[in-house]
């Protein structure tokens, strides 16, 4: 019989948070660390093996997704080392409502993912973004054209920033294309996990599979609402009702435009261009000016930063290859619809500015119908293993001394910002304490 595989720390999920944890925890040469990722590991950036769509900072990749054919309300869950940092828009937004205790780790994350943060200069703005920026200035709105984690045009993801410098460490193992099923337990301790159908043992287990993946692993492990586990024939190890609940995302709607000939011509003269150079923001909203890379489409996406609606992540099956059901229950709290209507009102005011009237006009549609037809999310899911109901302040799962969660799922309330930087900071914090 083969000797069981054993590590000091097993990190389940090689997304943004998992890359941070693998790098920080393996800084101790006496600690063995294994990072497990369901998607591919294309190796160091300098080796040249990464697909172009993951490197191109000017667009959102269509591949490397868990569920590419699900509803438009499903999160874009990246399935590759680096996770959503290899898929996202590269914006690094400091959460204005961050816990003061997280500031050190936010700064550490920013210095690592973007030691020289990239900002678009005004002469680099796309015609659409330039028009929106001028309209925002007339209305007294802030416009952010960075910082971005972009390096020489490359989306500089967490695998490049954190894992690549650590790859030569003999105490770090990175397993790509490896599917996590569940955590193994011995009494009140986590003993390891089932990975690709085989047990992998460890002294400490950290879940960093994201706001959809981490609760799914806990549920398959028997940690979650008792009735839900019973219905799937899963033995209950710990009846934690908060697992999978409290799902939040920044809900959005679009003011779609019919592009003018001027917008098409000016954009094509510079093609290809980034889909956006940044965003406009208020305390309650982000307004994202997004145009097709050849000027064939344009819209203002209004994203609500403090939604009241709450959804849930549930298992469809015990099979780890079957993705969980992700039910956002968008607009289930009517306050969110009212806030989106107000946000679209702001978008209309921007659209009335001369700089935007030259570039296009909004498609005629009542705003109530506009919300229903363009309803979406900003792809920032959080809250499904929330601090308080599922984990303590150190990310430790209630009832277990050596099982942790460190990703966006531990955020009890969604930040008023893109969640990438906050997620890195959460992992930096646990990485410094474990």
Question: Which tens digit of pLDDT belongs to each residue from 21-36?
Answer: 999 999 999 999 999 9
Residue 276 has pLDDT above 70, yes or no: no
pTM: 0.95
Domain of 416, CATH number, reads 3.50.50.60
- Looking at the structure, tell me whether residues 215 and 363 fall in a common domain: no
From 374, 391, 425, give the residue that closes a domain: 374
- Looking at the structure, tell me whether residues 199 and 239 fall in a common domain: yes
In a domain, residue 98? The reply is yes
- Looking at the structure, tell me whether residues 19 and 70 fall in a common domain: yes
> For the chain, what is the domain count?
2
| Best CA proximity match to 136, nearest among 417, 355, 378 | 355
Residue 364 has pLDDT above 60, yes or no: yes
- Looking at the structure, tell me whether residues 279 and 262 fall in a common domain: yes
Residue 37 has pLDDT above 50, yes or no: yes
pLDDT at 144: 85
Q: Which domain holds residue 261?
A: 118-148+251-304+331-374
| Mean pLDDT score, 357-369 | 95
Residue 271 has pLDDT above 80, yes or no: no
- Looking at the structure, tell me whether residues 171 and 209 fall in a common domain: yes
In a domain, residue 313? The reply is no
Domain of 290, CATH number, reads 3.30.410.40
Is the four-CA dihedral 107, 108, 111, 112 of positive or negative sign? negative
Determine contact, residues 166/44, Cβ cutoff 8 Å: no
pLDDT at 369: 97
Element (H, E) at 8: strand 5-12
Percent of the chain with pLDDT over 70: 95
From 374, 392, 409, give the residue that closes a domain: 374
Q: Please tell me which residue, 191 or 1, carries the higher pLDDT value.
A: 191
Residue 345 has pLDDT above 70, yes or no: yes
Q: Phi, psi at residue 202, to the nearest 5°? A: -160, 155
Q: Which parts of 122-262 are beta strand (E)? A: 142-144, 150-151, 154-155, 172-175, 180-186, 189-195, 198-207, 245-247, 251-259
- Looking at the structure, tell me whether residues 29 and 137 fall in a common domain: no
Q: Cis peptide leading into 316, omega within 30 of 0?
A: no
In a domain, residue 323? The reply is no
- Looking at the structure, tell me whether residues 80 and 30 fall in a common domain: yes
pLDDT at 62: 81
In a domain, residue 33? The reply is yes
- Rounded CA-CA distance 206/233 in Å is 25
pLDDT at 1: 37
| Mean pLDDT score, 168-182 | 98
Q: Phi, psi at residue 65, to the nearest 5°? A: -115, 150
- Looking at the structure, tell me whether residues 53 and 122 fall in a common domain: no
Determine contact, residues 314/178, Cβ cutoff 8 Å: no
Q: Cis peptide leading into 312, omega within 30 of 0?
A: no
Residue 239 has pLDDT above 50, yes or no: yes
In a domain, residue 166? The reply is yes
Element (H, E) at 376: strand 376-377
- Looking at the structure, tell me whether residues 285 and 403 fall in a common domain: no
Point out the least confidently predicted range of 176-185, 274-283, 376-385: 274-283
In a domain, residue 318? The reply is no
- Looking at the structure, tell me whether residues 198 and 100 fall in a common domain: yes
Element (H, E) at 384: none
| Mean pLDDT score, 34-58 | 96
In a domain, residue 346? The reply is yes
In a domain, residue 49? The reply is yes
| Mean pLDDT score, 298-318 | 96
Point out the least confidently predicted range of 70-74, 175-179, 257-261: 70-74
- Looking at the structure, tell me whether residues 185 and 269 fall in a common domain: no
Percent of the chain with pLDDT over 90: 77
- Looking at the structure, tell me whether residues 200 and 239 fall in a common domain: yes
Residue 232 has pLDDT above 50, yes or no: yes
Residue 373 has pLDDT above 80, yes or no: yes
Q: Please tell me which residue, 183 or 268, carries the higher pLDDT value.
A: 183
């Amino acid at each position: 019989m083969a000797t069981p595989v054993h590590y000091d720390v097993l990190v389940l999920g090689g997304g943004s948070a998992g890359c941070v944890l693998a790098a920080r925890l393996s800084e101790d040469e006496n600690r063995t660390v294994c990072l497990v990722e369901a998607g591919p590991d294309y190796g160091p950036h300098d080796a040249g093996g990464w697909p172009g769509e993951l490197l191109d900072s000017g667009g959102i990749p269509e591949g490397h997704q868990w569920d590419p054919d699900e509803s438009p309300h499903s999160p874009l869950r990246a399935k590759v080392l680096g996770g959503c940092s290899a898929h996202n828009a590269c914006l690094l937004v400091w959460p204005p409502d961050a816990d003061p205790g997280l500031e050190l780790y936010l700064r550490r994350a920013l210095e690592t993912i973007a030691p020289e943060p990239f900002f678009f200069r005004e002469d680099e703005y796309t015609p659409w973004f330039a028009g929106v920026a001028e309209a925002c200035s007339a209305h007294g709105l802030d416009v952010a054209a960075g910082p971005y984690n972009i390096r020489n045009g490359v989306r500089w993801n967490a695998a490049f920033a954190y894992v690549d410098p650590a790859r030569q460490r003999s105490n770090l193992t990175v397993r790509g294309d490896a599917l996590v099923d569940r955590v193994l337990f011995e009494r009140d301790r986590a003993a390891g996990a089932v990975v690709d159908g085989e047990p992998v043992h460890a002294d400490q287990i950290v879940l960093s599979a994201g706001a959809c993946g981490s609760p799914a692993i806990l549920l398959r492990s028997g940690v979650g609402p008792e009735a839900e586990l019973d219905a799937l024939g899963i033995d209950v190890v710990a009846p934690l009702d908060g697992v999978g609940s409290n799902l939040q995302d920044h809900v959005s709607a679009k003011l779609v435009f019919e592009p003018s000939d001027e917008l098409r011509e000016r954009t094509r003269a510079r093609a290809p261009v980034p889909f956006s150079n940044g965003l406009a923001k208020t305390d309650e909203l982000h307004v994202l000016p997004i145009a097709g890379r050849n000027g064939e489409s344009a819209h203002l996406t209004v994203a609500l930063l403090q939604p009241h609606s709450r959804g849930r992540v549930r298992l469809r099956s015990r099979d780890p290859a079957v993705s969980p059901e992700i039910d956002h229950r968008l607009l289930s709290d009517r306050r969110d619809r009212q806030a989106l209507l107000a946000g679209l009102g702001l978008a209309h005011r921007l659209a009335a500015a001369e700089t935007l009237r030259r570039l296009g006009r909004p498609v005629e549609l009542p705003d109530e119908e506009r919300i229903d037809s363009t309803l979406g999310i900003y792809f920032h899911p959080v809250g499904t293993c929330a601090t308080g109901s599922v984990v303590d302040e150190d990310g430790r799962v209630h009832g277990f001394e050596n099982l942790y969660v460190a990703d966006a799922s531990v955020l009890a309330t969604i930040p008023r910002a893109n969640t990438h930087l906050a997620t890195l900071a959460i992992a930096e914090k646990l990485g410094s304490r474990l």
